[in-house]
Amino acid sequence: MTGDVLVVDLGSTRVAWRGPRGDGSAAHEGDPGAVLARAFGGGRPASAVVVGSVADSAAAESLRRICEGRWGVPVLELVAAPESLGVRNGYRNPAQLGIDRWAAIVAARVAHDGAVLVADCGTAVTVDYVDAAGRHRGGVIGPGIGLMRSMLGAGTRLRLGATLGAGAGILGRDTEEAVAIGTAAGVAGLLESTRREVAAAFGAPDALLITGGEAQAVRARLGGNWSHVPGLVLDGLALLAAEVM
């Protein structure tokens, strides 16, 4: 893959990118094309765009409309494969695995020779395990901090503002702080319980990696063995793109 490629991670609520004219990320509110148009103005950001998308079809079309329609730049959309770069997909239907998860575990495996547990903390929280032989053994999915917060607001009479908060304390002294702590602790609990169960079933992973937009809030509540790796999905998308371009 040449250096003149824009790599885009299109999530359910956020879009992140990496390319020759710079990196960035932002909430897209269903219109990621408009986000990229503002980020790059009228100029072409690259000669090609590679996208890993778990967003709905309308958001994906918004992105394609800007890239192909306005800039005249071809878009290649990646999907999970049965095997890439020495990693074997563990899903019964490999294409069903989200491309963000696939990219993250491929990048993690390329960076680490041994067994690795990868947590991606975004709108949803995913945890995936790859053994020392490069076999993806599967994963778990749960709600992220923002979704937990939304569910609390919808299912109770709590009045919650727009600010998520760091949730770094032990006990909250107002509702916002208590919810921030509780939701971050809930995600951290999912990660730690998965780590323990994986260790009991397969042996302790050689590396524990955490990425995603809420990783810092969750990482503060985890043991010291978890390493924060920003941009792990973009790393993986770039590796997968290089394999096919």
- Phi, psi dihedral angles at 161 (to 5 degrees): -80, -170
In this model, does residue 218 exceed pLDDT 80? Answer: yes
Regarding pTM above 0.85, the answer is: yes
| Range scoring the smallest mean pLDDT among 117-131, 161-175, 211-225 | 161-175
CATH T-level assignment (fold) for domain 5-77 = Nucleotidyltransferase; domain 5 (3.30.420)
Report the pLDDT value the prediction gives residue 160, as an integer from 0 to 100.
65
- Annotated catalytic residues are 100
Report the pLDDT value the prediction gives residue 168, as an integer from 0 to 100.
64
The structural domains of the chain, with segments of one domain joined by +, span: 5-77, 83-230
Report the pLDDT value the prediction gives residue 1, as an integer from 0 to 100.
46
> For 43-78, how does the pLDDT look when each residue is reduced to its tens digit (9 = 90+)?
889 999 999 999 999 999 999 999 999 999 999 999
Distance CA 208, CA 197 (A): 14
Position 235 confidence tier, pLDDT thresholds 50, 70, 90: very high
Strand partners, 88: 83, 135
> For 171-188, how does the pLDDT look when each residue is reduced to its tens digit (9 = 90+)?
888 888 888 889 899 999
Among residues 243, 242, 204, the alpha carbon closest in space to that of 5 is found at 242
Superfamily per CATH, domain 83-230: ATPase, nucleotide binding domain (3.30.420.40)
The mean per-residue pLDDT over the stretch 89-117 comes to 97
Q: How far is CA 88 from CA 43, 78, 154, in A?
A: 39, 16, 40
Report the pLDDT value the prediction gives residue 173, as an integer from 0 to 100.
85
